[in-house]
Amino acid sequence: MKFTENREEVEKLGVDMLGYIFYEPSRRFVGEHPEAALFEASKPKVAVFVDENAFEILALAKNFNFEFVQLHGKENPKTCALLRKQGLTVIKAFSVDDSFRFDTTKAYEKEVDYFLFDTKTPLHGGSGKKFNWEILNRYKGYKPFFLSGGIGPDDAADIKKIDHPKLTGVDLNSGFEDEPGLKNIEKLKKFIEALK
């Protein structure tokens, strides 16, 4: 979310969480001084970071009152544990391609609340690219995960076919935008209806 009115409209669609990009190189970056109203949401807020300093994350969490952090860099399990100990719900993102070894998630199992599987690209996220969802079958861990990476308006049927006991949600991003950070309400609405 980058624009307050758009955030208000998205919230009405029955989404479970709202995401905010706190990574300056991203075209979805909330900005140096985002307006407070952007964060005055009734749904839980997820702040997305890439290798940000943990104490900076905690300061921002206090300032903008977000409950979740989604970490898309090389954050180690210790950093995840520190953030969690301070009361944040931690989602650790992993960059997935055909050669991804799901056992790399093991070191994080006890230190985070959720995993998120995103497509491996030179970007850290927001690529609009999908990975081969078949390989999710190789994930045998107990931690619930979000599916991410290039999900678009036509994917609801294929997502419904994914039969994995730990799939807990989907992260909708660039595939539902009119411009970076601005969600298309109609596309989201149709997708959410189709998914249900």
Question: Which residues bind to ligand LGQLAAA5, rule: CB under 6 A?
Answer: 19, 21, 23, 26, 28, 48, 50, 72, 116, 118, 124-128, 148-151, 171, 173-175
Least spacing, CB of residue 153 vs ligand LGQLAAA5, in Å: 12
Nearer to ligand LGQLAAA5, 102 or 176 (CB): 176
Q: At 170, phi and psi to the nearest 5?
A: -125, 145
Angle between helices 4-11 and 185-195 (to 10 degrees): 20
Least spacing, CB of residue 29 vs ligand LGQLAAA5, in Å: 8
Least spacing, CB of residue 31 vs ligand LGQLAAA5, in Å: 13
User: Cα separation of 73 and 50, whole Å?
Assistant: 4
Q: Contact at 8 Å (CB) between 74 and 51?
A: yes
Least spacing, CB of residue 130 vs ligand LGQLAAA5, in Å: 8
User: Quick one: tokens of 119?
Assistant: 């497509």
CA distances to 2, 54, 109, 141 from 33, in Å: 12, 19, 34, 39
User: Quick one: tokens of 89?
Assistant: 């719900």
Nearer to ligand LGQLAAA5, 34 or 125 (CB): 125
CA dihedral 48→52→53→59, nearest 10 degrees, is -40
Nearer to ligand LGQLAAA5, 85 or 179 (CB): 179
Nearer to ligand LGQLAAA5, 85 or 186 (CB): 186
Nearer to ligand LGQLAAA5, 52 or 111 (CB): 52
Least spacing, CB of residue 63 vs ligand LGQLAAA5, in Å: 20
Angle between helices 54-64 and 77-85 (to 10 degrees): 30
